Structure 1
Amino acid sequence: MIQRKLALLVGITMFTLLLMLRWEHIIHLVSLMRNERPSAEPEPQTDLPSAESTLPLWQRAPMETISPIPGSRHLMVSAFKDHRLGGAILVISIICRQELQPLYCVLCANGDANDSGNTDAKANGALGQCTTSQAKVDIHSDHFGFPFHTSDVFCTTTTSQQASYVSITSDRNTIDNLTFLTIQNQEVKESFRYKYTICISNLFGGYNNALQFAQTMEVYKLIGVQRVVIYNTSCGSDVEKVLTYYMREGMLEVVPWPLHKFLTPSTGWKYDLHHGDIHYYGQLTTLNECIYRYMYQSKYLLLNDIDEIIMPYKHGKLEKIMDTLQQQHPNAGVFRIENHIFPKTQFEDSGRFRLPQWRRVPGVNILEHIYREPDRKSVFNPTKLLIDPRRVEQTSAHTTLKQFGPVVTVPFDVCRIIHVRAPLQGHLSKDQLLVDKKLWEFEKRLIPSIDHALNQSGLL
């Protein structure tokens, strides 16, 4: 009898334990379905594998960054309130110049609006009160002959100040199945999260220059940059690893830029030579979007390409240069920096930076290229921009199109661009080039930081 009772007690205990384990498992599954974690479970480390972690971080963005405008071939990108223009709602868009038809703004109020992103308005009732008005379209002047180009679509109505969401359509009589954009920059801010942010227009064509990118990022850290923004269409697997590292570190924001899903982008800058629907994978659209995206996040923006470094020569830090320039030009918000070519075909002779740990990392080693092409007096030397985003309304790649205040060209000896790329004056011998070892000044801090970044990226 005692043995039977013991056996029954053990059985009940085992059954109870089994039920408890199954119930905990059920709770765990339910919490995962609700995108929650059980309270007793610790937060996972960012480098641990998960169902999503096999994807690049930017492919997990919750919303699309490009949306078709119904009834047209046009596209809309993002929306902002421009307080400099009386609070007008500005939708950065890509407009087909030859097919411009009347467009309409649908503005909707919602007290729960946040300051970033898009929303799919399948249930329009959730958006609150909506009003429709005709839009004003301002196509930027620098389109280089391509049919599609960066444009500002303005929405100005008596209700625009209360609007939280906006959509653009060619049919004013229906708002069914529209995609609405959250109107960002709702408030003017006087303090900023970042002092210096770099806007890099776009990556495309499976770009895989991982070594130069990591080196450039580490140089920017040393001269005072806190944030980098890149618009990504496609990149190689090695660059993808480096991007992921800098995103996890917090320095980098990667914005998805799937322009090829909607248009045939050109890989060049001039329509007669390169063809396609839009200039250089929408480079100018991304630069203008970045200005508004970071208008109240960063005090200054640097607008340049991924293989360029805006380098302070007179002072070691961007902050010292900008303090001096703003004192000299208090009303200026646009500073043009000269571009100078360092041919990647010419190597310094000693090989001191031909480090063995970098040999298997794909890309250009910028520390090996210390020879700079001389200026050609008869050829225009293009510039890139260092701006106060609150003083710029529209920009091109080398100069602003609309700005508030004067534009200043920064003297060559104060600041210039180190641009390691294919030569423009390929006929020149090494003896005819100028020696410029500015990057070597950062050697002691730069080499260990590059090694650390490449190691954390899994490339060493």
Structure 2
Amino acid sequence: MKKTKSTIVILLFIVAYFLIFINILPPKSRWVFPEVKLVLQPVPAVLTSQQSITPLTNTKHFLVSAFMDQRRTGFDARIIGIFRRDSIHPLHCIFFCAGFFSKTTSASVLVHSDHFGFPFGATDVLCRIPESCNATHVTLLTKQNPVNISDQLWLPIRNRKTHNKETRLNFTVCISTLFGDYNNVLQFTQSLEMYKLLGVNRVVIYNTNCGPDLDRLLKSYSQEGFVEIVPWPINQYLNPSRGWNFKEHGGDLHYFGQIITLNDCIYRSMERSRYVLLNDIDEIIMPYQHDNLNSMMDMLQSQHSNVAEFLIENHIFSKKHFEPSGRFHLPRWNKVPGVNILEHIYREDPDRNFYHPLKIIVQPRLVEQTSVHEVLKKFGQRFKVPMGVCRIIYIRVALRGSLKLEQLHEDKRLWDFQEKLIPNVDKALRRAGLLREEEEQS
């Protein structure tokens, strides 16, 4: 009996579809058919890494970030990592394609040439995205066909072409590493406010740790939107060096991973900033013929259109020599820790018999790999900017300590901005709770 009923239902289906096909059965038929549901397989999920440093499973390496990068023929994505240089083995790229996993592709591993002899170094991994893959995440595998792909930690791919276009910035400053409980609050505030006056739109800081006062200041600037803080807990994974020379300073990695953070910052800025300034927290790249960086770079770019890397000479202003009148020794800043840059106007001449490090302004879209003082790989030329056009103001311990005061040059360029700089510094310190009204009135 059951078999007969099943046969009748099947025959009814066949007759109904035939009648629909020849347009005899009306659309709103009184025929009732069993409901048919389409069951979809669940879309796989990926475990996105929430850290700025992600250990790579079954290796001694670490992944930092991933970016779309189609400037090199045959590759579509670039992963920035920290690799142990004596442990490079074949790796495979795999992508999450907005709903499914791609086939694996071979990875091309490029260790940066500037590693200064340390066991770990900045490394690029280039990957090819398979066709028909709208890649959103990527990771690396030690085996071509692993089990439990979804258990891997995945990096989100930045710089993907989207409809949500972020406002393009003119200038981003990349501060490579902040460590050692650094608490030079006054100089840091003055430097940030000076950069605002010069036309900088954003400052990116990679923070391992800093002093309590500077931490309050950073949070204040971050809430304002001017500073972007990237947590950089490198000391939780490696023994980072506090110096650049492996033989002298030891450790696993050059200067808290400075080269890795600078490269990461350039790629973060590639689609959102016209220029990137690479310098330290206590340095100001200062134009001397223009009132702001925008005017200076427009002039330089018009004269040197194919330049990717502009080299800026570093000049030391000794912090042991003070401007004698004391006009900028402001009592309200006495309780703010740090150096007052307006009090130091005596500049050393570099000793050109020795290597004199430079800092750089780059067009990020023309840069492939950078070191601290020069770009390693680029799609353009380099140009050393004359010191009369631009130079770095670097207030620190004298590099040439044997020079006497009369052998130094008086340089009051910062004073040209003091009318706006001082009230802006006061406002920033007040906003962070580091300057009180009674101190301002003293």
1:392 Cα deviation from its structure 2 partner: 0.4
Q: Which residue of 2 aligns with 1:170?
A: 142
Q: Which residue of 1 aligns with 2:51?
A: 64
1:129 Cα deviation from its structure 2 partner: 2.6
Q: Which residue of 2 aligns with 1:90?
A: 78
Q: Distance in 1 between matches of 2:50 and 2:101?
A: 23
Matched, 1:185 2:159: yes
Is the deviation greater in 131-140 or in 143-152? 131-140
Q: Distance in 1 between matches of 2:212 and 2:50?
A: 23
* Structure-to-structure mapping, 1:334-353, within 5 angstroms: 334-353=309-328
Q: Which residue of 2 aligns with 1:129?
A: 101
1:248 Cα deviation from its structure 2 partner: 1.1
Please list the CA deviations of residues 155-214 of structure 1 after superposition, one character each: whole Å capped at 9, or x if unmatched.
114348632110113233232421101111112999852111101101001111111000
Q: Which runs of 5+ in 2 are unaligned?
A: 1-48, 436-442
Identity of aligned residues (%): 50
1:347 Cα deviation from its structure 2 partner: 1.1
Q: Distance in 2 between matches of 1:101 and 1:436?
A: 53
SS state of the match for residue 86, structure 2?
A: helix
Question: 1:375 is matched with which residue: 347, 350, 375?
Answer: 350
SS state of the match for residue 64, structure 2?
A: strand
SS state of the match for residue 306, structure 1?
A: coil
Q: Which residue of 1 aligns with 2:179?
A: 204
1:434 Cα deviation from its structure 2 partner: 0.9
Please list the CA deviations of residues 364-411 of structure 1 after superposition, one character each: whole Å capped at 9, or x if unmatched.
111111111112231222111101100000000000000011100000
Question: 1:319 is matched with which residue: 288, 294, 297?
Answer: 294
Please list the CA deviations of residues 122-154 of structure 1 after superposition, one character each: whole Å capped at 9, or x if unmatched.
xxxxx5233222211000000000010000011
Q: Which residue of 2 aligns with 1:424?
A: 399
Please list the CA deviations of residues 43-72 of structure 1 after superposition, one character each: whole Å capped at 9, or x if unmatched.
xxxxxxxxxxxxxxxxxxx92111000001
Q: Which residue of 2 aligns with 1:329?
A: 304
1:449 Cα deviation from its structure 2 partner: 0.4
Q: Which amino acid aligns with 1:132?
A: T
Matched, 1:109 2:97: yes
* Structure-to-structure mapping, 1:24-423, within 5 angstroms: 63-86=50-73, 88-110=76-98, 127-159=99-131, 162-172=134-144, 173-174=146-147, 175-187=149-161, 192-423=167-398
Q: Which amino acid aligns with 1:304?
A: N
The change in CA–CA distance for 1:161 and 1:392 in structure 2 (over 3 A counts) is farther
Q: TM-score, normalized by length of structure 2? A: 0.84
Q: Which amino acid aligns with 2:153?
A: T
Kindly indicate whether the alpha-carbon contact (under 8 Å) linking 2:318 and 2:395 is maintained by their aligned counterparts in 1.
Answer: yes
Please list the CA deviations of residues 334-383 of structure 1 after superposition, one character each: whole Å capped at 9, or x if unmatched.
10000011111111111111111110111111111111111223122211
Q: Distance in 1 between matches of 2:375 and 2:302?
A: 21
Q: Distance in 2 between matches of 1:223 and 1:455?
A: 22
Kindly indicate whether the alpha-carbon contact (under 8 Å) linking 2:94 and 2:101 is maintained by their aligned counterparts in 1.
Answer: no
Q: Distance in 1 between matches of 2:106 and 2:260?
A: 23
Kindly indicate whether the alpha-carbon contact (under 8 Å) linking 1:192 and 1:299 is maintained by their aligned counterparts in 2.
Answer: no
Q: Distance in 1 between matches of 2:121 and 2:246?
A: 12
SS state of the match for residue 352, structure 1?
A: coil
Moved over 4 A (4+): 188-192
The change in CA–CA distance for 1:161 and 1:315 in structure 2 (over 3 A counts) is farther
Q: Distance in 2 between matches of 1:331 and 1:439?
A: 31
SS state of the match for residue 104, structure 2?
A: strand
Q: Distance in 1 between matches of 2:368 and 2:237?
A: 26
SS state of the match for residue 458, structure 1?
A: coil
Q: Which runs of 5+ in 1 are unaligned?
A: 1-61, 111-126
SS state of the match for residue 416, structure 1?
A: strand
Q: Would you say how many aligned residue pairs link Structure 1 and Structure 2? A: 383
Kindly indicate whether the alpha-carbon contact (under 8 Å) linking 1:139 and 1:151 is maintained by their aligned counterparts in 2.
Answer: yes
Q: Which has the larger radius of gyration?
A: 2
